[in-house]
Amino acid sequence: MKLKAGCDFGALLPVGLILAVGCQQAAKAQPNLEGIWAYEARPVYSTPQYTPEGQRRVDSYDVLTDDPSYECIPSGLGRAWDEPDTAVKIEQYEDRVVISYEMFDLVRTVELNKNGHPLQPEPSTVNIDGVAMPTMGHSIGWYEDDELVMETVGYDAGYVTTLRQFPPQSEAIRSLERLRKDGEDRLVVEIAYVDPLTFTEPLTATHSYFRSEFDFIVYGCIPGHRELSD
Amino acid sequence: MNRGILVALLAIAPLQLQAHHSVALNFFDEEITLVGTVRDVRWVNPHASFEFEVANDDGTVDRWVVELLAVVALQRRGFNFDAIQDGSQIEMTARVGYRDHTLLFTGALLPDGTIVTRTGAPPE
């Protein structure tokens, strides 16, 4: 695992013992979430509590035109975590975490330990062609004990997810994700979405994954609805 | 072809749109059964698909676009890809889509008695 730099035990001798212990403790404090994770079960969402505007957006949702999935675009952050039969790969570096989603070949780079978001945040997620995904916002992260915490702002309007339900997200939405291990081979992702325009209280979601038995693949999304041939 | 079923489904579409939000939001829950020929199979993401030709008693042919799960999902669930090939004659169950001439594959019976399920799991 690519953790913090500076834990070269060989270079620390003879005074390295104390430093090595401290270094190892620092390393243990950072959870090892690396690996390829497979969708375990349907995520559990709280029942959305909509504002009048949120309800209006739900009521006007058109299943045929408002889901960008057919264009290989995630409707929101939840949609990326929700996709069954696909894997998520997590790579941890000293200054960032890279989360790759097989669905739509999304690559999300989350910078760590930043002093807040930039004034004009750019999307943290791009696809395999480098096209940005603004419906997944701009994320920064840090570690708290055994959890990776990620805060995301700067979302484009869309829907938290469009799989089985479609809670709308406005550009005012913010989210807080907490990723942790539940045992050695299980990953739990808990997300809270706060959107004063669409929800009267936070929408929460819990996703769970186990270690994938499959290799991480290139998804190769083909956009558009298929039409009958001439 | 069961045009009568299609008309009935479209007539109650507003109720269905509000009431049924299961796995595939673009399709009615009710299933129909058609016998026909598979054409132009495409094993791709996010939706594998093929065209389906159904010969009517009056000599006309109805054509449908049939969607399946993503090919990565089918692969990982052990789907029987050999059963669905260009020219395959199958008895297919499917859900009618909100878009014209679309179906969501839910299963098929081959002439040799093989049952193909939507996900590749053994039939119940």
What letter would DSSP give residue A121?
P
Give Cα separations from B91 to A11, A36, A151, B27 (angstroms). 71, 38, 50, 19
**Would you call B77 an interface residue with chain A, using a CB distance cutoff of 8 Å?**
yes
pLDDT at position B24 = 60
pLDDT digits 0-9 by tens, B100-122: 899 999 999 999 999 999 877 66
Nearest CA in chain B to A222: B45
The Cβ of residue A13 has, within 10 Å, a number of other Cβ atoms equal to: 10
Pick from B46, B49, B77: CB nearest A221: B46
Residue ranges of the alpha helices (H) in A146-229? none
**Would you call B88 an interface residue with chain A, using a CB distance cutoff of 8 Å?**
no
Instruction: Residue B117: name the closest of A141, A82, B108, B47 by CA.
Output: B108
Q: Please determine, for residue A3, whether its predicted confidence score (pLDDT) is greater than 80.
A: no
Nearest CA in chain A to B74: A85
Q: What was the ipTM of the complex prediction? A: 0.82
More confident residue, A24 or A179: A179
Confidence of residue B45 (pLDDT cuts 50, 70, 90): very high
Pick from B45, B73, B99: CB nearest A84: B73
Pick from B65, B72, B98: CB nearest A227: B65
**Would you call A69 an interface residue with chain B, using a CB distance cutoff of 8 Å?**
yes
pLDDT at position B7 = 42
Pick from B22, B69, B76: CB nearest A214: B76
Question: In chain A, helix, strand, coil percent, each to 5?
Answer: 20, 35, 50
pLDDT at position A30 = 87
- Number of CB pairs, chain A paired with chain B, less than 8 A apart: 58
pLDDT at position B118 = 86
pLDDT at position A42 = 92
How distant is the alpha carbon of residue A116 from its chain centre? 18
Are the Cβ atoms of A86 and B44 closer than 8 angstroms? no
What is the 3 state secondary structure string of B17-47?
A: HHHCCCCCCCEEEEEEEEEEEEEEEECCECC
Are the Cβ atoms of A64 and B40 closer than 8 angstroms? no
Q: Which of A63, A82, A128, A164 is the mutation pick for testing B, counting most B CBs within 10 A?
A: A63
The Cβ of residue A135 has, within 10 Å, a number of other Cβ atoms equal to: 22
Q: What's chain A's average pLDDT?
A: 90
Are the Cβ atoms of B77 and A85 closer than 8 angstroms? yes
Q: Please determine, for residue A22, whether its predicted confidence score (pLDDT) is greater than 90.
A: no
User: Chain A contacts of B26, Cβ < 8 Å?
Assistant: 63-64
Q: Please determine, for residue A213, whether its predicted confidence score (pLDDT) is greater than 50.
A: yes
Instruction: Residue B24: name the closest of B112, B106, B88, B81 by CA.
Output: B106
pLDDT at position B11 = 42
Q: Please determine, for residue A4, whether its predicted confidence score (pLDDT) is greater than 60.
A: no
What would the mean pLDDT of A150-165 be, rounded to a whole number? 96
Confidence of residue B123 (pLDDT cuts 50, 70, 90): low
Pick from A102, A166, A222: CB nearest B72: A102
Number of H helices, E strands in chain A: 4, 13
Across A7-11, A69-73, B92-96, least confident range: A7-11
Are the Cβ atoms of A85 and B73 closer than 8 angstroms? yes
Are the Cβ atoms of B25 and A227 closer than 8 angstroms? no
Confidence of residue A127 (pLDDT cuts 50, 70, 90): very high
pLDDT digits 0-9 by tens, A61-111: 998 889 999 899 999 999 999 999 999 999 999 999 999 999 999 999 999
Nearest CA in chain B to A221: B45
The dihedral region occupied by B98, where left means phi > 0, alpha psi between -120 and 50, and beta the remainder, is alpha
Using CB atoms and an 8 Å cut-off, which of residues 33-52 of chain B contact chain A? 40, 42, 44-47, 49, 51
User: Chain A contacts of B49, Cβ < 8 Å?
Assistant: 226
**Would you call B20 an interface residue with chain A, using a CB distance cutoff of 8 Å?**
no
User: Chain A contacts of B65, Cβ < 8 Å?
Assistant: 226-228
pLDDT at position B114 = 92
